Amino acid sequence: MAIGDRDDMLARLKSELPKRWANYASPKLDAVLGGLADALADLYSFYAYAKDQTRIATASGFMLDLIAWDFLGGRLLRRNSQQDNSFRAAILKEIFRPRATRSSMTLALSDLTGKAPIIFEPANPLDTGAWNGLMGWSCAGRWGSLQHPFECWIDAQRPTGQGIPGVEGYGGSAGGWGQGRSEWASLSMMSGPVTDDDIYNTIEAIRPAATVCWTRISDDLPPVFLQPSYSFLDSPAGDRLVLDDESGIIVSGPPYDQPFTAPGTAPTPADTSHLWFDDKKQSGQIAAVWPF
């Protein structure tokens, strides 16, 4: 016997009757009170259900959909075959999601599509690069302008079919047993189709007021380099050479009138070119040639 079920309600009703009115074990009396107990048990179960629906942590079924609509105004809808626990976690994450920052925009679009966007601010030197630093023709940076404050360009990607965002597929190289982007999954974790309108609505919900976000949505991002990693090599004369850590390509540096070598590498030949040696991985290989 559990609290609120038929037997519990029947016992409560019989405990309120004076014992002198009738035999406590009376089949006819039990039949009459049993009908009332059934109705009271149904009311108690509805009360318990209604109480659970007053909190996101315990709500279930269509009430979660109403809660999502009440808090988020239709920005977050239940995906096909999405179970309550998964939808509840998505609602809480969206309600407490950070907003109005570049990192929050990246996080929101990554959660939606499973792919990080490229965000470019034309008034941000870390994106555009600067003369003699962090830029190179067709290598890094983009044209910037201070005439476009409070604006950014967002290159967003559509998700690759249906799947679980942020989780590596079978046979992939980004996850393994107990590590990386792998986890035990079920069909209820699969996200439904993400439309372009979903991406636009997410950007609109995250962007700060009085800002403009120019958006391009594609299946694959263009091959741009916005924030690569660099190594800086200084010559004895105080000049600086900037190398891209990934490719070893010279990003910026003046044409020196003296041979330039990285510390600990062999001197360059004094002929018609200067050689820069790879000092990052201590390979001693030539990284680039800078002609006179």
Q: Do 78 and 111 lie in a common domain?
A: yes
Higher pLDDT, 151 or 268: 151
Question: How many independent structural domains does the chain possess?
Answer: 3
Residue at 91 is within a domain: yes
Average pLDDT, the chain: 74
Q: Do 262 and 151 lie in a common domain?
A: no
Mean pLDDT of 105-119: 91
Q: Do 209 and 91 lie in a common domain?
A: yes
So what's the pLDDT on residue 1?
A: 76
Q: Whole domain around residue 263: which residue ranges?
A: 230-291
Neighbour count for residue 138 (Cβ, 10 Å):
7
What is the pTM for the complete model shown? 0.54
Q: Do 22 and 99 lie in a common domain?
A: no
Tokens matching residue 36: 């009332």
So what's the pLDDT on residue 119?
A: 92
Higher pLDDT, 184 or 215: 215
Residue at 178: amino acid letter: G
Q: Do 201 and 144 lie in a common domain?
A: yes
pLDDT tens-digit series, residues 268-280: 444 333 444 444 4
